[in-house]
Amino acid sequence: MSLTVVGSIAFDAVSTPFGSREKMLGGSAVHFSLASSFFTDVRVVGPVGDDFGDDEYGVLHGRNVITDDIERVPNGETFFWRGHYEYDLNTAHTDDTRLNVFGDFRPKLSDASRDCDVLFLANIQPDLQREVREQCGNAKFVALDSMNLWIETARDSLLKTIEQVDCVLLNDAEIRQLTRKPNLVQAAREIRALGPKVVVAKQGEYGAALLTDEGFFGLPAFPLETVLDPTGAGDSFAGGFVGCIAAHGGEDLSHETLRRAMAYGTAIASYNVEEFGTERVRRLTRKEIVARVGELAQITQFADAPLALRG
């Protein structure tokens, strides 16, 4: 199966209570593609500047990510984000954003990228997401991410785009904001009524929740003693989730497959936060992922035999 992701490729400067980095590889398309590359062939689409060099390409090539559709803009600078976290690592505080080449980004997809089986529309302007979706008419499964900025400034366009995808992945606050409903289950059902078969609510350190025709499924985050940097965790989760679906052919949306995808996304995201940026995921192995998925299964099992209650 082939998977195409369209989104940001960035340099991040991040400070947390546990350390900092002044310039590290980041961006939604990068974190997603590294995670999804464990499951299938991945083509990444996004713009970079002259400052994006062999070392950065090397990280992607090290996971066999196909970079042919990365657009290198002459005399340009790569998208840059600076932010910090306090002890509440669920909240990122933005200190500086420089769109640079990303500000004029118009996705240019090769024939190979357009002919994908699975498509992930990472967090970019909804009009651009829709343009890409319309180019990839043969995709069997299409998933979308977004953010509060587009909900606030381009809500109608985002809703129109959501109508054309199979899966929506947003954090729980964004789902409530988009639907204007305080109850997460009701909000997710409202999004599904627009057309998507699958809605995933990312909940940071509390895990993620899934809502489909077959019902509701929740999974906690993997318990960690060391968390250094949550940047890119949501995109890593999405990469594992969508990549696992791609490994199942892109058309199997049974509850069993989606639960498995949730587990793999959760496991990869848990490795992502153990170090800064892509440092941990670029060294990650298949064996480590499988082991953590197994541990996750153990800690979420409980005795389901009915207990005789009094009264």
Tell me the pLDDT tens digit for each residue of 78-119: 999 999 999 999 889 999 999 999 999 999 999 999 999 999
CATH of residue 71's domain is 3.40.1190.20
Confirm whether 183 is domain-assigned.
Answer: yes
Q: Residue 285: pLDDT above 80?
A: yes
Where does 85-215 have alpha helices with state H?
111-114, 126-135, 148-153, 155-162, 172-179, 184-192
Residue type for 74, please?
Answer: P
The pLDDT, as a whole number, for residue 19 is 96
Using DSSP's 3-state secondary structure scheme, residue 72 falls into strand
What Å distances lie between residue 235 and 33, 115, 202, 273, CA to CA?
9, 23, 10, 11
Confirm whether 304 is domain-assigned.
Answer: no
Using DSSP's 3-state secondary structure scheme, residue 2 falls into strand
Confirm whether 309 is domain-assigned.
Answer: no
Higher pLDDT, 307 or 22: 22
* Residue-range definition of the domain harbouring residue 112: 2-83+93-297
Nearest to 300 by CA among 273, 256, 263, 265: 263
Confirm whether 122 is domain-assigned.
Answer: yes
What Å distances lie between residue 292 and 37, 235, 269, 297, CA to CA?
17, 18, 11, 9
pTM: 0.96
Confirm whether 88 is domain-assigned.
Answer: no
What is the chain's mean pLDDT, rounded?
95
CA distance 167 to 41: 20
The count of structural domains within the chain is 1
Q: What is the DSSP letter of 163?
A: T
- Taking the chain, what is the end-to-end CA distance rounded to the nearest angstrom? 55
Confirm whether 38 is domain-assigned.
Answer: yes
Confirm whether 269 is domain-assigned.
Answer: yes
CA 168 to chain centre: 10
